[in-house]
Structures are given as C-alpha cells and as structure tokens.
Amino acid sequence: MNPFDNIFSLSGKTAFIAGASRGIGLAIAQALAASGAHTILAARSMDKLAAHAAALPNARALALDVTSSESIRLAVDAAGDVDILVSVSGTNVRKRFVDFTQEEYERIMQTNLHGIVELTKLVGEKMIRRGQGGKIINIGSMMSLLGLPYIAVYAISKGGLSQLTKALAAEWGQYNIQVNCIAPGFILTDLNRAMWQPPEMEKWLKHAQANPRIGRPEDVAPLAVFLAGRHERHRPPGPRLLDHRGQEAGFRKRADRDRCAAARGRRQKLGRVTGRKLRRLELIRVRVARRVGDVDFDVRVDPLEVRDQQVVPGLLGGIQQQVDRDRVAPLRRLRRARGDPECQGGGQRDRSHKRA
C-alpha cells in the first residue's frame, strides 16, 4: 500500500468542533467534513448549527455552552467516541486593562480558557481510556506569542491556551495523542468585523505585516486538516504561528525597525561614545574626556549598562564629572609605581583625609 494514498483523508474519524457556528470554527468544520470526517458542530446557536450541519456530508449539530460545566459534560457524553477535538470558542473585549470589570474578566477567561480546559479534560480522558490515540487542536492567537494593547485579558487566556497545549503534548504523547495550537494572524471574522471597517485600520495593516490583505477563516482551515491527519505524529508540539499573509515576517520587520530606532536614541545620549554601532552585549570602547594628571585613559562600558544608567553618571552628562574610583585607582597605582611625584603618598593623604 502506498503510504501517500489519500494522504489527507479523515475517513472513519469523528471530529468535534467547539465553536463551529461561524468564522474559523465553521471553516474548519467544513474542511474536516470535506476530508471525510464525521463532523460534530457544537456551539450555543443551535439554529445556525442545524443549517450548517445539513449542508455538510455526515455532520450533526450539538448544543454546547463552554461557560457551563453541565453543558460541556452533556455534549461530551452525546458526542460519543471522538478522534479529533478542535476548540475554537472565543470572545474578546477591547479596552484599557484598568477598565475591565470582574464580570468581563471572568466571561473572557471562562469562554477562552477555562471552558476549553474542561472540554479537553473530558474528551482527552475518553481518548486515553479508548487507547486509539487522537488529535487535539486548539485555536490560539498571535496573543499566544505576542502582546498588543487593550486586549490584556484576551492575551492572558490565549497565552494560557498555548501553555496548556505544550504541557498536554508532553503528557499525552505516550498515549499517541498529538496536541497542537494554531495561532492565526489577523483574520476577519464576525468577532472583529466592525474593528476593521475604518479606513485607518486598513492603512495600519499595510505597515503591520508583509502582505496587506487581511486573512480569512478559509486560510486557517487547511492547517487544521493537516494537524488532524495521520501524518501529524512526529512534528514537535506547540503553537503554529500561521504566517499565511506574512504576519510573522511583518512583525519581525517592525521589531527590527524599533530596535534600530532605540539604538539611534542611545547613540545620541552617549554623546562622546566612539564606535558606529551598538551591538547587543558587545563591549565598546569609550573615550573619556577627563584627564587624571597628564594621562588620558579609556574605560570599557557595556552599552546595556549605559542604557540602564548603571555606569558613571558623567558618561551621560558630558563626561566631565568625577570618574568612578574603581576605574581610576589602577591608573594611580601604575603611575605611583613609575615614581610619579604627584601620586607619591596619595593613598596616605586620602586616608588621613578620611580620618579627619
């Protein structure tokens, strides 16, 4: 038998998609059904689910509210044996972190993380007991890996989902259960459609990623089919940052630009620092415009220390203040050993001064 025959076929497998009434969840359900899986569409909106399930081959709808432990338990019992679990359920509120109410915090965390934890625990328990392995696919976000303002609670939940994925992949691999997380970029869904309406957002997107086109749910679905397939057994677990429109490259480009701007600012502050570039963790030579007797001297300064203002204050203020005693002392000892009269007995004078 050719191992590549029907390589993406999911025939004979049962897929449970939590949050399948619209957006990414619906697109994944459609893609899994097209690949031959018996598909269970689960969400709160039963009217929408029934219509979507009727349009798919070998699919059915199931009521599921991830904010209710009882609803999760009933849905898992009704689903029977599940080979593929896809958790897409999610919600978001955009505002300043200090303005979040306790109710908003708990609702986002329950929908995006705690409910999925309960669902995964129950389905995973059945997979382990059954002994035939399985696939678990969590839908995270860029916030599983990055951070943006005004969505702090959402970022907390998606970061937790990413860590849950890594931990379960390590724990359940022995049972032939593969656990992965898809972290999509900017995807246009009903959840964020209003946010992308203003023309300013389209202009911002052009500078935020390599390809200015916003992603669609259909861009995410093929990766879910791949992760649900029989060939996804030996990939290392963890979040898959979906770079379908160059988001990853775009953020890297912007991060590089920010680092260059910060480096230019540090060079302006350093003033008399010689050297054309500040390289990370590289020691650079600094010429100090301060004379000790007849001798000019050099000191070595870590640019990160300069940034954090942990070195001599004079380096940032014109290099005209008193030089650090620990850096001056070796030079004085050297000149004293050479017989410089100005330095003879300097130590005694300093100590007598202290005693006075």
d(CA 136, CA 277): 47
For residue 138, pLDDT over 60 is answered with yes
In this structure, the strands spanning 284-287 and 298-301 are antiparallel
Q: Pull the structure tokens for residue 190.
A: 């009903």
> Looking at residue 14, what is its pLDDT?
97
* Domain spans in the chain, listed from the N-terminal domain onward: 14-255, 271-324
* Percentage of the chain lying above the pLDDT 90 cut: 50
The interaxial angle of helices 69-79 and 115-130, nearest 10 deg, is 30
Q: What is the pLDDT of residues 85-106, one digit of tens each?
A: 999 999 999 999 999 999 999 9
Which range among 89-93, 155-159, 347-351 shows the weakest confidence by mean pLDDT? 347-351
Kindly report the three-state secondary structure assignment for every residue of the chain. CCCCCCCCCCCCCEEEEECCCCHHHHHHHHHHHHCCCEEEEEECCHHHHHHHHHCCCCEEEEECCCCCHHHHHHHHHHHCCCCEEEECCCCCCCCCHHHCCHHHHHHHHHHHHHHHHHHHHHHHHHHHHHCCCEEEEEECCHHHCCCCCCCHHHHHHHHHHHHHHHHHHHHHHHHCEEEEEEECCCECCCCCCHHHCCHHHHHHHHHHCCCCCCECHHHHHHHHHHHHCCCCCCCCCEEEECCCCCHHHHHHHHHHHHHHHHHHHHHHHHCCECCCCCCCCCCEEEECCCCECCECCEEEECHHHHHCCCCCHHHCCCCCCCCCHHHHHHHHHHHHHCCCHHHCCHHHHHHHHHHC
Q: Pull the structure tokens for residue 37.
A: 């899986």
Q: What is the pLDDT of residues 250-301, one digit of tens each?
A: 444 455 555 666 666 655 555 444 444 444 334 433 333 333 343 444 444 4
Q: Pull the structure tokens for residue 244.
A: 């379908």
Asked if CATH classification 3.40.50.720 holds for the domain at 14-255, the reply, yes or no, is yes
> Looking at residue 21, what is its pLDDT?
93
Q: What is the pLDDT of residues 66-82, one digit of tens each?
A: 999 999 999 999 999 99
> Looking at residue 214, what is its pLDDT?
85
Confidence of residue 351 (pLDDT cuts 50, 70, 90): very low
| Residue 105 is among the residues annotated as catalytic for this protein | no
More confident residue, 125 or 354: 125
**Catalytic, out of 105, 150, 154, 175:** 154
